[in-house]
């Protein structure tokens, strides 16, 4: 396994992050335990979750599964850099969602209980809260750091200016601020190259791409079009909308002798701002297929060909759209 620092911190994390979103919905607890055990065996020490994962509002089923896995002992908790999230709706009553100081306090206590741990290594804001001032958010996060309940703070689904605003206010409070951003990023979804990636680079945030395979679109979907969720009407529509690109992409991968999923992950890993793409296997077989991407180095010619197939927004803003 390869490791890197999470952004500007001294924290070492694996170059692949195990996403747990399927645990409790598409993956049984027994299979989830196998996947997490195998992840540790392969050297993956970075696990990502969220209080809303699991399919039932307010129950945090995915966090409960991870917590019961930790409770088996064997050094599991100490080996894992544990990330989870706050923001989503955990109940129908007021203040059971978003980023008020009241909800942050309630949410972290709930996550700690479900995860059966005394601290969260990376506590991420799942979305920006447009109605809660940063002074309130940072005061709440600072208190949790002082209490030892969280170590680092990260964001998810933030715009570049949200990252800048948050970290400038954190700096004025002599607080470390955001150390990571978890964003939608893959070959077919490159909008964050305009401003989010430059903001991460400038402020020293590690970038943690979610949906690195575009919901399966970049995983060889044309060959497996009739399997699993690929056969669903929504996915079939997406395939047809992107068929020309996908045909060119899968041919390029075949010419390289590589699996499309590995090429998609290797493309992300080649970006120095990317810390670790999140892989979300639903089974042990799916998990094992992701590891080869770590050793796959794409040539300059291949990178250019990928840019031609999936052109992206044209680089950084404002040069991407202005003279």
Distance from C-alpha of 23 to C-alpha of 84, rounded to nearest angstrom: 14
Tens digit of pLDDT at every position of the chain (323 positions): 999 999 999 999 999 999 999 999 999 999 999 999 999 999 999 999 999 999 899 999 999 999 999 999 999 999 999 999 999 999 999 999 999 999 999 999 999 999 999 999 999 999 999 999 999 999 999 999 999 999 999 999 999 999 999 999 999 999 999 999 999 999 999 999 999 999 999 999 999 999 999 999 999 999 876 555 556 778 889 999 999 999 999 999 999 999 999 999 999 999 999 999 999 888 877 776 678 899 999 999 999 999 999 999 999 999 999 98
What are the residue ranges of helices labelled H in 116-159? Answer: 134-146
Residues involved in catalysis: 53
Q: pLDDT value at position 225?
A: 60
Distance from C-alpha of 152 to C-alpha of 242, rounded to nearest angstrom: 39
Assess whether the previous peptide bond of 318 is cis (omega < 30° from 0). Answer: yes
Residue-wise pLDDT tens digits, 299-318: 999 999 999 999 999 999 99
Strand partners, 221: none
Q: pLDDT value at position 18?
A: 98
Distance from C-alpha of 311 to C-alpha of 177, rounded to nearest angstrom: 33
Distance from C-alpha of 103 to C-alpha of 87, rounded to nearest angstrom: 8
Strand partners, 3: 14
Residues 6+ apart with CB under 8 A from 56: none
Domains of the chain, first to last: 3-216+259-299 (3.20.20.100)
Local structure of residue 232 (DSSP, 8 states): S
Residue-wise pLDDT tens digits, 288-304: 667 889 999 999 999 99
β-pairing, 81-86 vs 120-125, is parallel
């Amino acid at each position: 396994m390869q490791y890197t620092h999470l952004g500007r911190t001294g924290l070492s994390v694996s170059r692949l992050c195990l996403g747990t979103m399927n645990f409790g919905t598409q993956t049984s607890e027994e299979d989830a335990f196998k996947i997490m055990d195998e992840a540790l065996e392969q050297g993956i020490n970075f696990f990502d979750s969220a209080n809303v994962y699991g399919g039932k509002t307010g129950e945090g089923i995915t966090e409960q599964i991870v917590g019961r896995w930790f409770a088996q002992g064997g050094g599991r908790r100490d080996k894992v850099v544990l990330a989870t999230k706050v923001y989503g709706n955990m109940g129908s009553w007021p203040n059971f969602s978003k980023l008020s100081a009241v909800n942050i306090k309630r949410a972290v206590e709930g996550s700690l209980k479900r995860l059966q741990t005394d601290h969260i290594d990376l506590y991420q804001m799942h979305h920006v809260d447009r109605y809660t001032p940063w002074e309130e958010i940072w005061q709440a996060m600072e208190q949790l750091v002082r209490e030892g309940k969280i170590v680092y703070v990260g964001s998810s689904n933030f715009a570049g200016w949200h990252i800048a605003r948050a970290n400038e206010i954190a700096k004025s409070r002599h607080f470390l601020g955001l150390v990571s951003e978890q964003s939608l990023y893959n070959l077919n979804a490159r909008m964050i190259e305009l401003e989010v990636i430059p903001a991460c680079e400038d402020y020293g945030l590690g970038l943690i791409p979610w949906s690195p395979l575009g919901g399966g679109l970049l995983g060889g979907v044309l060959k497996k079009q009739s399997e699993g969720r690929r056969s669903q009407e929504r996915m079939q529509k997406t395939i047809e909308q992107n068929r020309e690109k996908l045909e060119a992409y899968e041919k390029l991968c075949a010419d390289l002798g590589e699996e499309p999923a590995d090429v998609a992950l290797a493309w992300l890993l080649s970006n120095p701002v990317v810390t670790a793409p999140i892989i979300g296997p639903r089974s042990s077989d799916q998990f094992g297929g992701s590891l080869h991407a770590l050793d796959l180095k794409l040539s300059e010619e291949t990178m250019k060909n990928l840019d031609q197939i999936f052109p992206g927004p044209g680089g950084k803003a404002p040069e991407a759209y202005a003279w």
